Amino acid sequence: MPVAIRLAAALTVMLATLAPHGVRAAGDAVERPQAAAGTTRDDAAGPRSASRYEALARLAFHNGRLPDATAAQHSRLTLSIAAYGLDSPRTAKAMVALAQAELDQLRFLDAEALLLAAGRAAPPDPTQAAILIGLSRIAVARGEPDAAVRDAERAVGMQPHSAAALRALGAAYGADHRFEDAKRLLNQAIATDRADTSGPGNPDTARSLSQLGNLYLHADRFDDALAPLEEAAYLDRTLLDPNHPFVADDLHDLAIAEDGLKHPSLATQMLKQGLDILRRSGDQTSLRVAYCNLELARIERESGDTKDADTHFREGRHLLHTAEDSDRDREKRI
């Protein structure tokens, strides 16, 4: 699809998503800044109100309430568009923040629309780099390694010392079967994350460790995968809410490693723990639930438990088909 058409489509989807998920949706999940004591109407529509939504999004993310974090970022973007217009660098940053929230929920179509729209007005760095990182992640998820490598290499060119850019390029190289290059970059991203002394712990370190662990998983090097995946799980449990979806992701990945090491009972236990976490977080319909069910079905079938395997397989496939149908419906509205 030509770039101009893709951008027009992106803006259509982006604006459509703001209608049902704007200030009203965020107000259902978080306190409206307008209601804060001492806040005037003009102030509520300005940057202070947007900053409050940004803070609420961070809190919701930390507590594992990813839909609430997304709703708060929707409201921040709505206010930014009203105050500064679509072509403002501030609005571009708000679009990227919302896209990152969508990516946390594995909503790739919505994230791509926002990132493409943000590219029109984004300042050179670091917003443009963040856009490229997001697009690279989406390309990896879609099985498009060439596009993933192209975007991530551009991001690293803009920010050569950014752990997020290095992590994205490492993931892209892994998808392109460039194992040694990917391992080198991911270890560099981990070292950069560890050097960050901005707080008592850097949750981004877990993302880099998880990416390295997944690189080993895809190479069937299950022994090597365990250490980074276990450390990622420890960091997420320490720094985030125990029922955070990222903790469920860690258990999913560890289950694959343990199954590869011929520990199917332990793998099954981890996947069921992951599903329990997702249910407690209020997430019962996402792609994460689908992936856990499908992995559980595979292990159960190999262990001879066909009845439970059939149940989990049906649930996983149903959720995948639902997500695919939802994406097709959104594309038809462009």
Q: So what's the pLDDT on residue 47? A: 64
Q: Which of 53, 73, 104 is where one domain is finished? A: 104
Q: So what's the pLDDT on residue 322? A: 85
Q: Which residues contact residue 178 at a Cβ distance below 8 angstroms, ignoring those fewer than 6 apart?
A: none
Question: Is 247 a member of any domain?
Answer: yes
Q: Report CA 219 to chain centroid distance, whole Å.
A: 23
Q: Which of 86, 104, 122 is where one domain is finished? A: 104
DSSP assignment of 254-286? HHHHHHHTT-HHHHHHHHHHHHHHHHHTT-SSS
Q: So what's the pLDDT on residue 51? A: 86
Q: Do 327 and 110 contact (CB within 8 A), yes or no?
A: no
What φ, ψ does residue 328 adopt, rounded to 5°? -65, -40
Q: Which residues contact residue 136 at a Cβ distance below 8 angstroms, ignoring those fewer than 6 apart?
A: 147, 148, 149, 151, 152, 155, 168, 169, 171, 172
Q: So what's the pLDDT on residue 216? A: 98
Q: So what's the pLDDT on residue 34? A: 40
Question: Is 323 a member of any domain?
Answer: yes
Q: So what's the pLDDT on residue 100? A: 97
Question: Is 173 a member of any domain?
Answer: no
Domain of 250 in residue numbering reads as 241-334
Q: So what's the pLDDT on residue 76? A: 95
Q: Residue 133's closest CA among 121, 119, 145, 151?
A: 151
Structure tokens at 222: 């299950």
List the alpha helices (DSSP H) in 195-305: 203-218, 222-239, 245-260, 264-280, 287-302
Q: So what's the pLDDT on residue 295? A: 96
DSSP assignment of 111-152? HHHHHHHHTTT--TTTHHHHHHHHHHHHHHHTT-HHHHHHHH
DSSP-derived 3-state class of residue 38: coil
Question: Is 206 a member of any domain?
Answer: no
Question: Is 116 a member of any domain?
Answer: no
Report the domain count for the chain. 2
Q: Which of 104, 122, 155 is where one domain is finished? A: 104
pTM for this prediction = 0.84
Question: Is 76 a member of any domain?
Answer: yes
The secondary structure of residue 88, as a DSSP letter, is -
Dihedral sign, CA of 318, 324, 325, 326?
A: positive
Question: Is 65 a member of any domain?
Answer: yes
Q: Do 29 and 65 contact (CB within 8 A), yes or no?
A: yes
Question: Is 219 a member of any domain?
Answer: no
Kindly report the length of the chain. Answer: 334
Looking up residue 261, the CATH number of its domain turns out to be 1.25.40.10
| pLDDT digits (tens), the chain, 334 positions | 444 445 545 555 555 555 444 433 333 444 433 433 333 344 445 567 888 999 999 999 999 999 999 999 999 999 999 998 988 888 999 999 999 999 999 999 999 999 999 987 766 668 999 999 999 999 999 999 999 999 999 999 999 999 999 999 999 999 999 999 999 999 999 999 998 765 556 789 999 999 999 999 999 999 999 999 999 999 999 999 999 999 999 999 999 999 999 999 999 999 999 999 999 888 767 899 999 999 999 999 999 999 999 999 999 999 988 877 776 665 555 5
